Amino acid sequence: MNFKRRISWIDICLTRDFKKMNRRIFGLIASFAVAFIIGFSGCGGNQQSETVNIGTTLDLTGPNATYGDQVKKGLDLAVEEVNAQGGIQGKKIQITYLDSKSDPKLAVTNAQQLIAVNNSKLLLGEISSSATQAMIPVVEQNGAFLFAPASSSPKLTNVSKNFARNWPSDVAEAGSAAQFAKDKLNGGTASIIYVNSDYGIGLKDKFTQVFESFGGKVVSSEPYEVGATDFRTLMLKVKAADPEVIYLAGNPKEMGIAIKQLKDTNIPSKIVSDTGFLQNDCLSLAGVAADGVIVPTPDYNPAESKDNRVSDFSKKFKAKYNADPTMVSANAYDAIYLIKDAIEHVGNDPAKIAEFIRNKKNFNGAAGVVSFVDGDVEVPITFKIIENGRPVNYAK
């Protein structure tokens, strides 16, 4: 009995010692693994520090894909040039693209991935103003900087010290459309057809404010959802309101379909629209139904520009893509050079880069000379009219 007890106690002691030994061995293995991972990550970190990581989230396959393609082409051309010249302070630019489809939730997910996985504290995007605005909290929480070359909602004006854009606010464009409708088209009444997004609502609100300040009256405002294809019920409501002028505010493809259905309804009203109406996605769908539509748009005409920076970019863009650049492409191209300029002056800190760009004056870029005030720019507005399916200068 006593012998058995001794054996039991010996077994227990051996078992305890064995467990302790196992824990020590496991601890040593775990420590080695952590050290290895940290060392490996350090190597990766050093490698990443040799590049300037820029993360980009754009609509590449959704309702604003025509703009996303223009942004990507402008960015790619600029990155190719800067890297060929040695990069930024000897570091090559590494750019990552993610597709948002203009979905705010997906844009937020993209921003989180670009920051956490791709180690990008410099972000470019979005096309959709709603998507851009949705990313602002993510950017602020992570001390990143977001630059948008094509978002235009007034809600983005001075929305964050971590944000800037070089496309002007809709305030200028929609205000010009309203004044033109009242003064040049002698419109006393207007109906507004607009996409139900931050972009469309911003255009609608500013048009209404300015049009009514000049003595006009908005007799109806009809929203439609992103991606809509059937506008017939909406058009009947507009026809019943009998406006002298219609303001059509939306995304290119939707407006191309809408204008055909509007003309089929035989509404005699004069029509003004927004910059999106000038895109091929709209005009190709609209066909002859687009003729006569008048569009205020930021003034960008590289063929007639006397600015060497503007004309040189236009030539390089056409040589690379066999197409004329748009202001969206020029803005995207300029975004890379603005970041380069900022890093060369203030270093890699995203907060300092943001402050530098948000207050940059007289930047001479592919889109012309612009100055930033609290992250926004102002540019002159010109008017186009559609003739034979193509935009030409409005000369009346």
Instruction: Read off the pLDDT of residues 187-221 as tens digits, 9 standing for 90 and up.
Output: 999 999 999 999 999 999 999 999 999 999 999 99
Using alpha carbons, list the distances in angstroms from residue 30 to 23, 27, 39: 10, 5, 14
pLDDT at 374 over 70: yes
Per DSSP, what are the bridge partners of residue 122? Answer: 54, 145
Using alpha carbons, list the distances in angstroms from residue 57 to 31, 82, 247, 319: 38, 21, 30, 26
Helix 327-346 / helix 65-84 crossing angle, nearest 10 deg:
40
Q: How far apart are CA 57 and CA 117, in angstroms?
A: 14
Helix 104-116 / helix 129-141 crossing angle, nearest 10 deg:
30
Residue 271 burial (CB count, 10 A)? 23
pLDDT for the residue 396 = 67
Instruction: Read off the pLDDT of residues 126-176 as tens digits, 9 standing for 90 and up.
Output: 999 999 999 999 999 999 999 999 999 999 999 999 999 999 998 889 999
Instruction: Read off the pLDDT of residues 150-159 as tens digits, 9 standing for 90 and up.
Output: 999 999 999 9
pLDDT bracket for residue 294 (50, 70, 90): very high
Positive or negative torsion for Cα 341, 346, 348, 352:
negative
Residue 112 burial (CB count, 10 A)? 14
Q: How far apart are CA 153 and CA 169, in angstroms?
A: 6
Instruction: Read off the pLDDT of residues 308-366 as tens digits, 9 standing for 90 and up.
Output: 999 999 999 999 999 999 999 999 999 999 999 999 999 999 999 999 999 999 999 99
pLDDT bracket for residue 47 (50, 70, 90): very low
Instruction: Read off the pLDDT of residues 97-114 as tens digits, 9 standing for 90 and up.
Output: 999 999 999 999 999 999
Q: How far apart are CA 262 and CA 232, in angstroms?
A: 8
Q: Pinpoint the alpha helices (H) of the chain.
A: 2-49, 65-84, 104-116, 129-141, 170-183, 198-213, 232-241, 252-264, 280-286, 308-321, 327-346, 350-358
Taking all residues of the chain, what is their mean pLDDT, rounded to a whole number? Answer: 89
pTM of the model: 0.81
CA atoms within 13 Å, Cβ hemisphere of 291: 6
